[in-house]
Amino acid sequence: MSSVSIKRVLLVAAENDALHGAKVGGMADVIRDLPPALAQCSVIADVAMPNYGFLAQQYRAAYLADIEVDFAGERHSVTVYRLPRPQHKDAIVTVDQDKFDDSIAQIYLFDHPLFNHQGQVYCNGSVDRPFAEDATKFALFSLCVATSLVREILPRMDVLHLHDWHSAMVAMLRGCVVDFAGLKSLACVFTIHNLALQGIRPFSGDESSFGHWFPQYIDKLDPIAKESLFDPRYSNCINPMRMGIVLSDKVHLVSPTYAQEVLKPSDHHKGFFGGEGLENDLATKDQQGNLVGIINGCVYDEAISAFDAHKASYKDLLLQAENTVIQWQAKAINLSVIDAMALARIGQYKHALLSDSLALKPAQIKDETERFLLTSVGRLTEQKVLILLQPFSDPQGLSSAKTVLDAILLSLKKLQPDGVFLMIGSGDLHIAKMMQATAARYDNFLFLHGYDEALAEQLYQCGSLFLMPSSFEPCGISQMLAMRVGQPCLVHGVGGLYDTVEDNVSGWVFNGETLASQGQALVERFNQVVQLLGSDTWQQVKHNAAKQRFTWDEVAKEYIEKLYVTN
């Protein structure tokens, strides 16, 4: 296949930030930004995703077809809707029900009751049955996508581009089931956004198991199924992530460094996250020349310089944070203790600002743009905060800090008495409770348990230093968004963070061979960096951060050359 012949690609994914309510993590940003970038290269990139019970109605999508599939021993009818990709997610596109313009990128929405979870993309499954509801949902979704392609309900594609374990069973059907052998004429690419989440489920004996989903295929699987379906650690379980790796033509990791890290076995006790049990399959793909690391892109508005952009004041930021928490509470049934604490803390900060303005002469009041704000925006997961929550051991015994986060907050209080660490993130409730306890002990820590896009943007704009101490980071987008507006970052030198932040040039980096040493290195580096505030070095790093460019235009060209073109 030559690059000239590639005209249309189907991106199959669980998330898509081109539509309201369909974003959880960085995958959504990729599915939002990749299609227009590929369009600049004359490649149409359609998207297939679940409807989640509301997207088609929200965007007035047009009915395309009903497809019948056999799933879990029953006949199911799944409705497919389509809409042209909106230029902006607030735009409602007028769709002509009778005219199907396949010359522009489309979003195909697959609708079935199993895909609906009160408007949520993913379920919070029980601990004893991890991934159960989601795995069933995405197994049916994968079957529907494969069926719609074989029956030519969707336009003819040149490349099938699957994203993470949620869509990996499309590769399984293509490679292991004769009914879908026609899909082998399409190049199949599998992108891994997060190798730690693999969708592992039993092969049989459970309502959420391969045998229950696909009883009609159990005795008809291609022999390659033995080498691709099962988890290498749990022989009685299937592993969708492994299916995607083994059964796709090419495997894509979302940064060059992460593509090398996953070739090594993980050692969680030492704080290293690598292949997560699939390193041998990834190494085989690498030896075949079919493992590719390409960093994700970021969207830049060249009309707005990072240093000319309007920056909200500290007072405006507090007001935005306060309104955001109130809006969260408006949707809640019960009062959240974390939200109540955040509102109380914001009130204290606002009172302090008012007291300063009354007690001091105007010339004595500190310029709000000089107030040190340490910021963090991201999912509340072990991946993101494990290092922060590690026990802290001060070699000199001078610190009362129990954790790395404690040590950072104590240092912040000492080095920048008016400074505040403002963290926003949603996710793990256990981690949230630990953050809640820390926020109660330190008056310079404001923790907001949730996510709001407008508030996140203000944090990127107003922050002095962005903290991203991920234990592993396949690519990362938050550091790019912070750098884009001139906020330098302090990051762990792994994965995409290593590939986007250059130590002492466009930001600052810490490392360590163990979890303990990583925590120690973070605290030491933080102390060093904060003491640079206002120096020529600080200003140069800010300038360099703002000038960094990781554009989707360049990424799209790499996709075509390294992923979509096959020998």
Contact predicate 304/313, CB 8 Å: no
The 3-state DSSP class for residue 243 equals helix
pLDDT of residue 136: 97
**Same domain flag for 53 and 169:** yes
Residue 397 belongs to domain with CATH number:
3.40.50.2000
**Same domain flag for 319 and 290:** no
**Same domain flag for 290 and 324:** no
The one-letter code for the residue type at 233 is: R
The residues, ordered by sequence, that sit 6+ positions from 13 with a Cβ below 8 Å of its Cβ are: 27, 31, 47, 48, 49, 162, 163, 164, 166, 167
Alpha carbon of 421 to those of 176, 321, 424, 489, 529: distances in Å? 51, 13, 10, 14, 15
pLDDT of residue 302: 59
Q: Which of 13, 89, 79 is nearest to 47 (CA)?
A: 13
**Same domain flag for 515 and 387:** yes
CB-count burial class (<10 Å; 0-12, 13-18, 19+) for 185:
exposed
Q: Which of 336, 334, 335, 326 is nearest to 429 (CA)?
A: 336
* CA gap 288, 187 in Å, rounded: 16
**Helical spans, DSSP H, in 416-514:** 429-441, 453-462, 478-484, 495-500
pLDDT of residue 342: 95
**Same domain flag for 238 and 360:** no
Contact predicate 338/449, CB 8 Å: yes
The 3-state DSSP class for residue 237 equals strand
473 CB neighbour count, 10 Å cutoff? 32
Regarding beta strands 445-449 and 420-425, do their DSSP bridges make them parallel or antiparallel, or are they unpaired? parallel
Which segments in the chain show pLDDT lower than 50? 1-4, 303-309, 364
pLDDT of residue 24: 87
* CA gap 507, 485 in Å, rounded: 13
Domain count for the chain = 2
Residue 306 located in a structural domain: no
**Same domain flag for 509 and 560:** no
User: What count of Cα atoms within 13 Å lies in the side-chain half-sphere of residue 545?
Assistant: 33
pLDDT of residue 447: 97
Residue 134 located in a structural domain: yes
The 3-state DSSP class for residue 6 equals coil
Residue 120 — φ and ψ, nearest 5°? -100, 145
Contact predicate 545/485, CB 8 Å: no
The one-letter code for the residue type at 120 is: Q
**Same domain flag for 343 and 403:** yes
**Same domain flag for 326 and 293:** no
pLDDT of residue 306: 45
**Same domain flag for 273 and 354:** no
pTM here?
0.92
Q: Record the tokens describing residue 265, joined without a space.
A: 């076995």
**Same domain flag for 120 and 192:** yes
Contact predicate 284/291, CB 8 Å: no
pLDDT of residue 362: 55
**Same domain flag for 351 and 215:** no
Alpha carbon of 418 to those of 117, 297, 325, 439: distances in Å? 43, 35, 23, 16
**Same domain flag for 293 and 354:** no
pLDDT of residue 94: 66
Alpha carbon of 154 to those of 47, 104, 118, 469: distances in Å? 11, 13, 28, 42
Identify the domain containing residue 139 by its residue range: 3-297+553-564
